[in-house]
Structure 1
Amino acid sequence: MVTIKKLFAQELLNAKGYPVIETTVILSNDIIASSSPPSGTSKGTYEAHEIVDSEIKRYNGHGVLKAVENVNKIIAPKLLGVDINSQQKIDELMIELDGTKDKSKLGANAILSVSQAAVKAGANNSSLPLYLYIKKLISSNAPKNYPTPLFVLIAGGKHAEGSIDFQEILLAPSVSKTFEEKIEIGANIYHLLENKLMELGLSTLTSVEGGFSPKVPNNTESLRLMKDVIKESPYKLSLDVSLGIDVASSSFYKDKQYFLKDKTTPYNPKEMTLFYKKLISDFNIIYLEDPFSEDDWSSWQKGFNMLSKDSLIVGDDLTVTNPDRLKLALNSNTINGIIIKPNQIGTVSETIEVVKMARL
């Protein structure tokens, strides 16, 4: 049996220049693996709690030394000697140590850094690629398929303040294309959009996640811009490519209304649903992520009934990779797609359980 011999964490900076935690696991046979969980730019209210130091003089309050300390002083002693192939046991021990529903005692970032490092160490020990090792943990016989990538082309919301209200305008290549063709289509249209923005005298600066953030009048105009770019490309809208929107509507929801630049007065939930219906029709939208606020369950239900025949209705802030939230969403018939993010729940094992539930 190969066990955890040593485990330690440190603070480092991510690509955005923010501190994050990285944990390293060393096994009894000296195999080593390290992992650093991501930290989202925009976060749902119901996500597991990420611990930051809140010391303004140091990294503007974004330091993670407390999370590092929790790994080194509390989690590490508990996991020494544990079988590296017992991923569920490793995660359950940390959940028990934390003792809170949202992992606010030790921090989801601390716990997940250990969970991910353990999975990578387990994969290395088994001489398997990480994806095959995780497939083994899921105990799935499903065939291996390449996913269809979604390309962020225009960014707004919390990803690009001062741009559109919607968080992302996405490009979805047709599922009939090969994976290589999908990548080529995404890259080509990205650069065609860049050229179009320069032609129109609009900014080609990119957001934190790579999408362009031109100052267009409203959300509808950003979709019209994308439609024009596709018309001028070798590709056909609805045949070769479609569009999607990560709405992230909780960011502009207030007092049971939705505030958008597309109308001088706020949208009520019924108007918002009708607005989406028109966008789906006008711009071939096949993907709508978080079209309603994370607490506006009634609108989710009514919107799903009206929109789901023509578009995927996807939960992110609504479901936050949480089995209880997903169960509620499924029972209330509000989504037919879900975003999976391990940092929203805090362990690999819990993430796998949500994936299994979503597939049923």
Structure 2
Amino acid sequence: MTRITSVSLRRVLDSRGNATVEADVLTESGGFGRAAAPSGASTGEYEAVERPPGEAIAAAREHAVPRLEGVYAGDQRSVDAALRAADGTEDFSEIGANSAVAISMAAAKAAADVLGAPLYQHLGGAFRGDNFPIPLGNVVGGGEHAADATHIQEFLAAPVGAPSVSEAVFANAAVHAAVAEILEERGVPAAKGDEGAWAPAVSDAEAFEIVDEATDRVEDEVGFDVQFGLDVAAAELYDAERDAYVYGDEERSPDEQVDYVADLVDEYDLAYVEDPLDENDYERFAELTERVGDRTLICGDDLFVTNVDRLQEGIDVGAANSILIKPNQIGTLSDAFDAVELAERNGYGSVISHRSGETEDTTIAHLAVATDAPFIKTGTVGGERTAKLNELIRIADDAV
């Protein structure tokens, strides 16, 4: 009943106006699934390979689609194994991780459609009343997401005390609005970056002041704990020739970077710090985790790239205490689940994440619920971001 009968691929727009890959999967019983691949701007050196969409679609039609016809969509590992076999490389450089992940997610949706079940249930999750992923909302951004803004890539609202997913979602939107009010009060104009965060031409130090004030204002309004966190995206700041992190005219040595981030955790009670160091610096990731990991999540994105081998290397030395999970970073849902399971077995948290170039696809909302992830990065505003947030609200409402 759930055998795949057809896989269709097309180019569609992502949130930056670039082309990406969308897949439709149909089963013999009429089950249908559609999914689209996101695309990152700040990408890790070790990510699976995203090919130009036209090339990825042509390669997938030639190599993957014939292998997938007749495969049981309900067996996600069989679907993803067929994609791996069709590609024949370790990094999806043949058919492209963008084609692979679109097909993988679409097949899961088709299987859920046959069952008449929500995707998160098909993926194995059980939503439990007061246990939901806390959305991390990007409210001030720079780095690779916006020109002439902060060096730190993302300042993230973290409504850790919210009693429901709905209240968490609206708290993040309130922080985003409060940032706009504070910028206006200071006479600072601001456009928006790739993910809808404000991108003012302010220093990192002033951005900390603004976000700290915004979260305090919202915390007073909502009556629960609203903290904030960071995606430093330090690999983009690290200059290997100088062996230094370059913040405009200021440089920090790797040891100074560890001290800088540790001091920020202490000063601002940060709930979350992603990629505070270069993607190859396991040693200092471990040092930072030892210093502040009992008080905050130190999350590896470029460090781990949703890859179990890199995650195991980090576990072995105590680098970070959580992993960012991006299915397109590794190519399939099965590979993403493997990373979550390895993290969980070793006491690491998993943070399910969007990308800067997104679509209206809501798969990651279901993945976050299915894996019982403590956090999900979705952004705060913008149709492609609110699509995930509204889906989280619907899941919570349907599960009551």
Give % identity. 30
Is residue 195 of structure 2 the alignment partner of residue 209 of structure 1? yes
Per the TM alignment, residue 231 of structure 1 is displaced from its structure 2 partner at its CA by: 4.2
CA deviation after TM superposition for structure 1 residue 310, in Å: 2.2
Among 96, 99, 102, the residue aligned to 1:113: 102
Please report how far the alpha carbon of residue 183 of structure 1 lies from its aligned counterpart in structure 2 after TM superposition: 2.3
- 5+ unaligned residues in a row in structure 2: which ranges? 346-400
CA-CA distance at 1:15 after TM superposition: 2.3
Give 1:55's aligned residue: none
Q: Does 1:151 align with 2:137?
A: yes
Cα distance in 1 between the residues matched to 2:13 and 2:165: 32
Q: Secondary structure at the match of 2:138?
A: strand
Q: Deviations over 1:238-259 (max 9, x none)?
A: 9621120100000010122111
Deviation readout 1:307-334 (Å, 9 max, x if unpaired): 2122210011111111101111111101
**1:87 Cα deviation (Å)?**
1.6
Q: Which residue of 1 is the match for residue 378 of structure 2?
A: none
Structure 1 match to 2:78: 89
The answer to whether the 8 Å contact 2:283/2:317 transfers is no
* 1:270-289 superposed matches below 5 A: 270-289=255-274
User: Relative contact order, CA 8 A, sep 6+: which one is greater?
Assistant: 2
Match of 2:244 in 1: 257
Count of equivalent residues:
342
Change (3 A) 1:125 1:250: same
Compared with structure 1, are the counterparts of its residues 95 and 201 closer, same or farther at alpha carbon in structure 2 (3 Å cutoff)? same
| Residue aligning to 1:26 | 26
Give the superposed CA RMSD: 2.0
Pairing 1:26-175 to 2, within 5 Å after superposition = 26-52=26-52, 64-135=53-124, 143=128, 145-175=131-161
Structure 1: which amino acid aligns with 2:246? F
In structure 2, what is the Cα distance between the partners aligned to 1:86 and 1:211?
Answer: 38
**d(CA) in 2 for partners of 1:150 and 1:228?**
17
Label 1:110 to 1:229 Cα distance change in 2 as closer, same or farther (>3 A): closer
Closer, same or farther: CA 229–93 of 1 in aligned 2, 3 Å: closer
> For the residues of structure 2 that align with 1:90 and 1:228, how far apart are their CA atoms?
48
4+ residue segments displaced more than 4 Å: 140-144, 231-234, 236-239
Q: Deviations over 1:1-28 (max 9, x none)?
A: 4311111211121222110111111211
Q: Which residue of 2 aligns with 1:188?
A: 174
TM normalised by structure 2 equals 0.81
TM-score, normalised with respect to structure 1: 0.90
SS in 1 for 2:72: coil
Classify the secondary structure of the residue corresponding to 1:186.
Answer: helix
Structure 1 unaligned regions, length at least 5: 53-63
Distance 1:233 1:65, change over 3 A: closer
CA 251–236 in structure 1, closer or farther in 2 if over 3 Å, else same: farther
CA distance in 2, matches of 1:82, 1:180: 38
Give the letter aligned to residue 89 of structure 2.
T
In the other structure, the counterpart of 2:387 is none
